[in-house]
Structure 1
Amino acid sequence: MEQKEFQLNDVVEMKKSHPCGANRWKIIRMGMDFRIKCEGCGHSVMIPRKEFTRKVKKILERQGD
């Protein structure tokens, strides 16, 4: 699998959807852990980088340079 490059404020799709039904997540913090925010209900979750890269399906929107 290719190495994915993530940026702050990118919108990603995870393999599993959130219990609210949405499957769009915005990256709001990067580092050893990622904090992602559900675009549907606004709930944010902190997950380790390794777990995040394993669970992300694709990047839906890139943050413009």
Structure 2
Amino acid sequence: MEDIKQGSILVLKKGHPCGENKWEIIRFGAVCKLKCLGCEREVLMNRMDLKKRIKKVLSNEEIN
């Protein structure tokens, strides 16, 4: 798995109901806190479920 840490931007396999599928990691531990970059809603997800749902970790060039 790529280097996942706090502040990373992820693309998940399934999008959020607001239409966005990019998420920022706010807290990364046993339970991870993610913020939707579309509507800014925050969700909690355990690390194992998060790793299964990741499609791509965006680099700094891909974010802009």
Q: TM-score, with normalisation over the residues of structure 2?
A: 0.87
Count of aligned positions: 60
Structure 2 gap segments, 5+ residues each:
none
Q: Structure 2 matches for 1:1-65, cutoff 5 A? A: 3-61=1-59
Q: Is the 8 A contact 1:11 1:60 kept in 2?
A: yes
Identity, in percent, stands at 35
Alpha-carbon displacement from aligned partner over 1:7-59 (angstroms, at most 9, x marks no partner): 11110000000000001100000110110000000001100000000001001
Query: How far, CA to CA, are the matches of 1:54 and 1:41 in structure 2?
Result: 23
| Distance in 1 between residues matched to 2:49 and 2:9, nearest whole Å | 17
**What is the TM-score normalised by the length of structure 1?**
0.86
- Which aligned runs of 4 or more in structure 1 are off by greater than 6 angstroms? none
